[in-house]
Structure 1
Amino acid sequence: MSESLYFIAVVPPGDIQEEITQLKHEIAEKYGSSHALKSPPHITLHMPFKWKEKRFNELANVMNKLNEDLTTFQVELKGFDFFEPRVVFVDVAENEKLNQLQKEVVNACRKELKLDNANFKDRPFHPHVTIGFRDLKKQMFYAARKKFENRALNYEFTVHRVELLKHDGFGWDVMIFDRIEG
């Protein structure tokens, strides 16, 4: 039975994606952590989950409903922060509408799809855009932290939709839902 790996996220517009991807390249080149380059810049709303391909329409229906119900709002990316001892990320300014959207995604996935792995290790939602992790060695993490902790960054964008990303065996790609009938 064929299964694929998916997750649900907010993906910034192309210009901001390009800028953040450059930061990912900087982390890869200077600190030896390239794992973050396997996905487009994003804010995870639901952690990766396996889904049977023969049930894809159920997943598509949930995604379409989430996007139909979504009221646009602004998100601010501001500065950098860290999860010791391996994660460097672009921080997301406190945002009640983003927090509410994440709860709606989690609730829809639990209720409609029977998924219950929404958050990483049952930690509370902490929105961020990862630029270095997993393959970032501790020593390099602290060097990157020193370099990024006082570095300025500020982007703002409008959230128009949530995206479904699918793993292709090498990295993550955004599914194009405008062409999918549920």
Structure 2
Amino acid sequence: MPETNLYFIAVVPFSDLQNKVNQLKRDIATRFNSARALKVMPHITLKAPFKWPPTAHNMLLKWFVDLKLPGPSFAITLQGFGAFNNRKNPVIFIKPADSISLVLLQRELVNSFAALEPAIVQPIDKNFTPHMTIAYRDLTPANFEKAWEEYSHKEFEEQFEINAVHLLQHNGTQWNIIASKPLANT
């Protein structure tokens, strides 16, 4: 049994949109030698990956199931591309349009998580920059420059309904949704 399990919390688009995003990931993998993003389903992270003891797995699941989230569901638009031009690990992502509903959802989730386990709340959780990653980790700075030259001008516009948040766990090979929490309908 592992010493810790790895989790994160996210919103996940419907399958047709996941397929479109995965096509972009495959394009970057093929043309710019960055396939790492293909290992995780398209998503917008609400709570960054965190380690949790296996012995407390049920406690985490109970917190997630009992979570009180603001509602109702809402639509979000993905428009164009953005980038984090980090020196060693640049990132290219699809940009969500500004959404106060998404910001409030993320803030409520992180505040609730902080009440459960404040030591695991990270600066990235407090400085929320919504994005749907299509290239990271194995994207070299040189390939980032080439890809970003193209993707910075590329058009992309899709919309999806956010009606639930999902708890994902890494099984040693891939990420899997282990629980889903619908947004409250008001």
TM value normalised by structure 2: 0.87
Match of 2:184 in 1: none
Question: CA shift at 1:175, angstroms?
Answer: 1.5
Q: Which SS does the other structure have where 1:18 is aligned?
A: helix
Q: Aligned match of 1:113 in 114, 117, 121?
A: 117
Conservation of the 8 A alpha-carbon contact between 1:46 and 1:119: no
Match of 1:128 in 2: 131
Conservation of the 8 A alpha-carbon contact between 2:70 and 2:105: no
Identify if the C-alpha distance between structure 1 residues 115 and 160 changes in structure 2 by more than 3 Å, giving closer, same or farther: farther
Tell me how far apart the structure 1 counterparts of residues 67 and 27 of structure 2 sit (CA, whole Å): 34
Letter in 2 for 1:173: N
Question: CA shift at 1:147, angstroms?
Answer: 1.1
Tell me how far apart the structure 2 counterparts of residues 155 and 139 of structure 1 sit (CA, whole Å): 29
TM-superposition CA deviations, 1:126-145 (whole Å, max 9, x none): 10000001110111001100
Match of 2:20 in 1: 19
Question: CA shift at 1:80, angstroms?
Answer: 0.5
Conservation of the 8 A alpha-carbon contact between 1:106 and 1:118: no
Unaligned runs of 5+ in 1: none
Letter in 1 for 2:30: E
Match of 1:6 in 2: 7
Q: Is 1:93 equivalent to 2:123 in the alignment?
A: no
Tell me the C-alpha RMSD between the 2 structures: 1.9
Tell me how far apart the structure 1 counterparts of residues 51 and 101 of structure 2 sit (CA, whole Å): 27
Q: Which SS does the other structure have where 1:146 is aligned?
A: helix
Unaligned runs of 5+ in 2: 182-186
TM-superposition CA deviations, 1:35-61 (whole Å, max 9, x none): 111110010111111112222222112
Question: CA shift at 1:170, angstroms?
Answer: 2.0
Question: CA shift at 1:32, angstroms?
Answer: 0.6
Identify if the C-alpha distance between structure 1 residues 23 and 67 changes in structure 2 by more than 3 Å, giving closer, same or farther: farther
Letter in 2 for 1:54: T
Number of residue pairs the alignment of both structures matches: 177
Match of 1:47 in 2: 48
